[in-house]
Amino acid sequence: MTRQLHNITLGAAVWMAIQLTVLPLGGAETPPPATETNKPTADNAAADNPAAEPQWESLFDGKTLKGWKTPQFGGEGKVEVKDGAIVMHRGDTMTGITYTGPVPTVNYELTFEGKRVEGVDFFCTTTFPVGKSHCSFVVGGWGGPVVGLSSVDHYDAADNETTRIKDFKLNQWYRIRIRVTEEKIECWIDDEKMVDLAYVRWEIEDGKKVKHERKISIRYECDLCRPLGIATWCTTGAVRDIRIRRLTQGPTPVTTAEPASSSDKK
CATH number at residue 74: 2.60.120.560
Q: What share of the chain is helix, strand, coil (3-state, %, to 5)?
A: 15, 40, 45
Task: List, in sequence order, every residue forming a beta bridge with 205; answer none if it has no partner.
Answer: 208
| Residue 88 and residue 218 in one domain | yes
Q: Is residue 247 part of a domain?
A: yes
Range of the domain at 157: 58-255
Q: What is the pLDDT of residue 39?
A: 42
CA–CA distances in Å: residue 150 to residues 48, 161, 183, 190, 226:
40, 11, 17, 20, 13
Which candidate, 227, 224, 238, places its Cα nearest to that of 78? 238
| Residue 234 and residue 160 in one domain | yes
Identify the H or E element spanning 17: helix 2-22
| Residue 152 and residue 239 in one domain | yes
Q: Is residue 181 part of a domain?
A: yes
| Residue 101 and residue 20 in one domain | no
Say how far apart CA 94 and CA 222 lie, in whole Å. 9
| Residue 189 and residue 116 in one domain | yes
Q: What's the whole-model pTM score? A: 0.77
Q: What is the pLDDT of residue 244?
A: 98
Q: Is residue 263 part of a domain?
A: no
Q: Is residue 30 part of a domain?
A: yes
Q: Is residue 141 part of a domain?
A: yes
Which candidate, 169, 181, 126, places its Cα nearest to that of 148? 126
Q: What is the pLDDT of residue 132?
A: 95
> Taking the alpha carbons of 80, 83, 86, 89 in that order, is the dihedral positive or negative?
negative
Task: List, in sequence order, every residue forming a beta bridge with 189; answer none if it has no partner.
Answer: 176, 192
Q: What is the pLDDT of residue 192?
A: 98
| Residue 175 and residue 201 in one domain | yes
Q: What is the pLDDT of residue 200?
A: 96
Q: Is residue 53 part of a domain?
A: no
Query: What's the structural domain count of the chain?
Result: 2
> Taking the alpha carbons of 232, 237, 243, 245 in that order, is the dihedral positive or negative?
negative
Say how far apart CA 194 and CA 63 lie, in whole Å. 31
Q: What is the pLDDT of residue 17?
A: 45
Q: Is residue 265 part of a domain?
A: no
Q: Do residues 122 and 235 make contact, with C-beta atoms less than 8 angstroms apart?
A: yes
Q: What is the pLDDT of residue 188?
A: 98
Q: What is the pLDDT of residue 10?
A: 44
| Residue 107 and residue 234 in one domain | yes
Q: For the chain, list residues with pLDDT below 50.
A: 1-46, 260-266
Q: What is the pLDDT of residue 205?
A: 84
Q: Is residue 14 part of a domain?
A: yes
